């Protein structure tokens, strides 16, 4: 794919990005080693987002993630409370972009299972991306 990008867009700056922490640490590190090797082999930039994201997660391991949880797993007597956060579908899901329901449902197995970034997680990604790209853009302008 990188070869095709280089051919089709010879003036493009190609950047391989590592993955954010998700699942188990060993898997993330294995994937990131592969990304590092690809960047090296293809002689392109490597943007390593992992250290910053991992550092932010030390403030709270679930603070940068969605809460996405099947409504059917919410106790019957608490479903009305969760109703404003339900996304309809084949399997109705409670979806929360922050921790506002953690005190009520955080004890349920799987409540913190979704590792997809929430708005705070995307803020970290965006902030670190801007820090990484700014010097590259400035250098390219010169």
pLDDT tens digits, residue range 101-128?
999 999 999 999 998 999 999 999 999 9
d(CA 112, CA 114): 6
Same domain? For 48 and 3 the reply is yes
Note whether residue 24 is domain-resident.
yes
d(CA 116, CA 121): 8
Note whether residue 131 is domain-resident.
no
What number is the average pLDDT over the span 59-66? 93
In the chain, the number of structural domains is 2
In this prediction, residue 142 carries a pLDDT of 79
Residue 46 above 90 pLDDT? yes
pLDDT-derived band of residue 19, with 50, 70 and 90 as boundaries?
very high
Same domain? For 84 and 47 the reply is no
Confidence (pTM)? 0.85
Same domain? For 51 and 88 the reply is no
Averaged pLDDT of the chain: 95
In this prediction, residue 141 carries a pLDDT of 85
**80 Cβ neighbours under 8 A, 6+ residues apart:** none
Residue 22 above 90 pLDDT? no
Note whether residue 105 is domain-resident.
yes
Q: What domain range includes position 89?
A: 61-117
pLDDT tens track for 125-138: 999 999 999 999 99
Note whether residue 41 is domain-resident.
yes
Note whether residue 128 is domain-resident.
no
**114 Cβ neighbours under 8 A, 6+ residues apart:** 65, 66, 67, 68, 69
Residue 23 above 80 pLDDT? no
């Amino acid at each position: 794919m990188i070869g095709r990008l280089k051919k089709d867009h010879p003036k493009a700056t190609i950047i391989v990005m590592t993955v954010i922490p998700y699942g188990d640490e060993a898997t993330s590190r294995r994937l990131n080693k592969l990304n590092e090797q690809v960047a090296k082999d293809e002689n392109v930039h490597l943007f390593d987002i992992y250290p910053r994201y991992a550092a932010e997660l030390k403030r709270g391991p679930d603070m940068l993630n969605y809460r996405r949880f099947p409504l059917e797993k919410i106790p019957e007597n608490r479903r009305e409370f969760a109703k404003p956060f339900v996304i309809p579908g084949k399997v109705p899901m409670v979806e929360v972009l922050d921790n506002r329901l953690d005190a009520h449902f955080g004890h349920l197995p799987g409540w913190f299972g979704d590792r997809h970034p929430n708005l705070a997680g995307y803020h970290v990604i965006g902030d670190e991306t801007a820090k990484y790209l700014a010097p590259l853009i400035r250098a390219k302008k010169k």
